[in-house]
Structure 1
Amino acid sequence: MTDALEIEGWLTEAQAERLRACAARVRPEGAVVEIGSFRGRSTVVLASAAGAVIAIDPHAGSDRGPQEIEAEASRGDADHAAFLANLTAAGVADRVVHVRKFSSDALGDVSGSVSLLYVDGAHRFDPARADLVDWGRRVVPGGTMLVHDAFSSIGVTLALLFVCAGSRSWRYVGRTGSLAEYEKRVAGDGRARDLLRHLAELPWFARNVAIKALVLAGRRRWAERIGLDPAAPWPY
């Protein structure tokens, strides 16, 4: 069987382990939902650990990776074919319900509550904020939300600060690299502490923005000097 980390994607080994642990532990009743599947790396992790996952990805060839925003049908179809093949090779195809739609259009395709939400969709502020708000409200108290590219992508980070920092709804648990974990609050205490914990991540966020600027400027060696993993194309 194909191992999840053999599949093309941006989830690191340590992040995959955190995702796996969250999916495997006892959770409230509700579905496991993934927003942004790409070629299936995180989908395989979730399906293997949780037993079932609803994977939402339009496979439109847009928001496919850094600087790949515009839709391209042929690229999206190739991603979709690879996604299905990878699920089959990993032996989890029967555990995955794929909704080939944008997350904003898929809300009606998932009934009931959500116990675990993994967000790795469009990284621009407006769609990232919409995912956190619209899908986040479906997560039950005591449930989990994990967000990739947190404190790395400018759009995702601003959305997190806007929606989650000091929120009555979310408690910031921590992060593995750019994978942030939140718990849906049962009570609204600890908001000031949570706000401070978000603000404490801003220096790391600033470092990541600087790394991206250096990479885009063709100064990769400088980026590595301030923390970019030489084996990684981008700070994840």
Structure 2
Amino acid sequence: MRWPHAAAPFATPPPARPLTDPQSIKGFLDPEEGTALARYAVATAHLGPFLEIGGYCGKSALYLGTAAKEAGTRLFSIDHHRGSEEHQKGEEYFDPDLYDEVACAVDTLPSFRRNVLAAGLEPWVIAMVGGSADIARYWSTPLGFVFIDGGHSMPAAQADYDGWAMKIAPGGILAIHDVFPNPEDGGRPPYEMWKQAVASDAFEPVERIRTLEVLRRL
């Protein structure tokens, strides 16, 4: 079932383009989705800083970090940087360039830091290395914008939603990536999180951009 979408708000000019082309960075975010993230983030900066779950190599951080720079706020990027389930050895999206032979584990943090540095965004992008749920437990600052793009298993997606959705200030934005209403197109957990958000009466759907669902906190 598809929920109706409200008219898109925030008729603000698009934020500045990142100095580094985000499409040159490893990741899975479409340019149209990245531009939408930045547009919505800039419009909510007066409510609080930005936060993303799932920094990977920094593609989304370039869009949101540029928005944070323009708006005079900060992007907090949460990731354990050991890769999601699908990034591990033997899985579909395993990348040997991101594998640390010494640690015997995926490590995306060096790539993330290099890309943020190259884009000139270090002052505006704060990397938080750890589990989303662990950090959420100690977080108290209201947020203007939250982007969930972490692990796509049901426990991981549920923990991200439970930990962060209600930390968004009223009027702020929750953006969820990889939402596939048709199960033949992709995994279900992000879609289930979107359905939970709408059914909670705490959020209203605003816009869908490819696989990105945007909701406003009521």
Q: State the partner residue of 1:13.
A: 31
- Partner amino acid, structure 2, of 1:154: R
Whether 1:179 and 2:201 are equivalent positions in the alignment is no
Work out whether residues 84 and 150 of structure 2, in 8 Å CA contact, stay in contact via their aligned partners in 1.
no
Whether 1:60 and 2:78 are equivalent positions in the alignment is no
1:66-120 deviation per Cα after TM superposition (whole angstroms, max 9, x unaligned): 7459x9845532x111110000111101211111001011114544111100000
Consecutive unaligned residues in structure 2, runs of 5 or more: 1-18, 181-185
Would you tell me which structure has more helix in proportion to its own residues?
1
Consecutive unaligned residues in structure 1, runs of 5 or more: 186-236
Report the CA distance between 1:12 and its aligned residue. Answer: 0.4
Percent identity over paired residues: 27
Question: Mean Cα displacement is larger for which, 168-177 or 24-33?
Answer: 24-33
Higher relative contact order (CA 8 A, sep 6+): 2
Work out whether residues 44 and 145 of structure 2, in 8 Å CA contact, stay in contact via their aligned partners in 1.
no
Work out whether residues 153 and 189 of structure 2, in 8 Å CA contact, stay in contact via their aligned partners in 1.
yes
- Partner amino acid, structure 1, of 2:211: S
Work out whether residues 63 and 121 of structure 1, in 8 Å CA contact, stay in contact via their aligned partners in 2.
no
Q: Distance in 2 between matches of 1:147 and 1:92?
A: 23
TM-score (norm 2): 0.76
Q: Which runs of at least 4 in structure 1 moved beyond 4 Å after TM superposition? A: 64-69, 71-75
Q: State the partner residue of 2:136.
A: 107
Work out whether residues 140 and 184 of structure 1, in 8 Å CA contact, stay in contact via their aligned partners in 2.
yes
Q: State the partner residue of 1:76.
A: 106
Q: Distance in 2 between matches of 1:131 and 1:50?
A: 22
Q: State the partner residue of 1:155.
A: 189
Q: State the partner residue of 1:206.
A: none
* Counterpart among 95, 115, 133 of residue 86 in structure 1: 115
Kindly name which structure, 1 or 2, has the bigger radius of gyration based on alpha carbons.
1
Q: How does 1:1-236 map to 2 (within 5 A)?
A: 1-51=19-69, 52-63=74-85, 65=87, 67=92, 73-77=103-107, 79-108=108-137, 110-151=139-180, 152-161=186-195, 163-185=196-218
Secondary structure at the aligned position of 2:20 is classed as: coil
Give the length in aligned residue pairs.
182
TM-score (norm 1): 0.71
Q: Distance in 2 between matches of 1:111 and 1:135?
A: 10
- Partner amino acid, structure 1, of 2:175: L
Q: Distance in 2 between matches of 1:27 and 1:81?
A: 28
Report the CA distance between 1:30 and its aligned residue. Answer: 1.5
